[in-house]
Amino acid sequence: MTDLSERYIRNEKMLSAEENRKLRSFNIAVIGCGGLGGNIIEMLARLGIGRLTLIDGDVFEPSNLNRQLLSTPENMGQPKAKEAGKRVRLINPDVKVVSKQTRLEEHNAEELLRGHDLIIDALDNIPTRLMIEGIAAELQIPVVFGAIAGWYAHIGSILPGDRLLEKLYLDSEREKGSETYLGNPSFTPALAASLQVAEAVKILLGREGVLQNKLLMIDTLKHEYHVIDM
């Protein structure tokens, strides 16, 4: 077992020793273990979040190799949630991890998400994303939302009672995400995932600067970053 006083020492100064200890008490659900999710899971595990529930019903396929951190030529056809759990155990055995090899749907969402301190949306599916916002509101669980498409990313935090995604997605945009048309490179998910994890830490520790009722819009092509009040 790793010496915890050494493992997290580089987090100190930015986070206090008490905040580092507190992170180990939280239970986070990550929905999606692909492009966004793989990076998110890696960072949460290295931060020492106490318990992770990893939810994804897909398996790895060759088109994932350009961007999905957890995909390798050797694990093609393997369940993403299972491989994500193996990665967490490899890099930080102190983190409790539960892999759920299933799609999040109306009939199982409440059962899968109940009891978590925070949900991180790492999906590319707008209808499911909207469903999560509603279920999380009922369960009084905050959600950190992230979406990417090509050079672009959106990030926001949804506290119980907020309806960021309902405001963001018009009815005509709710069937397919922009990534269908603009592509999925390697760097945009990594950037968006980093910002989602930063938001998660701020929410859990009660820090200032959370993107509540705001949308961070990023254009990495022009290096434009805008925060929009929603």
Its pTM stands at: 0.94
pLDDT at position 172, please?
A: 45
Question: What domains can be seen in the chain, in order of their start residue?
Answer: 4-229 (3.40.50.720)
CA distance 5 to 70: 28
φ, ψ of residue 32 to 5 degrees: the values are 110, 125
Q: Dump the DSSP string for 60-82.
A: --GGGTTT-TT--GGGTTSBHHH
Write the single-letter amino acid at 98.
Answer: V
The per-residue pLDDT for 212 is 96
Please check the confidence at residue 93 and state whether its pLDDT lies above 70: yes
List the strands of the sheet with 96-100, edge to edge: 96-100, 51-55, 27-31, 118-121, 143-149, 152-158, 214-219, 224-229
On whether the CB atoms of residues 71 and 27 are closer than 8 A, the answer is: no
For the purposes of burial, counting CB atoms within 10 Å of the CB of 116, is it exposed (0-12), middle (13-18) or buried (19 or more)?
A: buried
pLDDT tens digits for range 10-52: 988 899 989 999 999 999 999 999 999 999 999 999 999 999 9
7 Cβ partners below 8 Å, 6+ apart?
Answer: 48, 92, 94
The answer to whether residue 3 scores a pLDDT higher than 90 is no
The answer to whether 189 and 36 are in contact (CB under 8 A) is yes
C-beta of residue 67 within 8 angstroms of C-beta of residue 189? yes
Residue in the structure block whose two tokens are 């269908």: 180
First CA to last CA across the chain, in angstroms? 45
Please, which residues bridge with residue 147 across strands? 154
pLDDT tens digits, residue range 176-194? 555 567 888 999 999 999 9
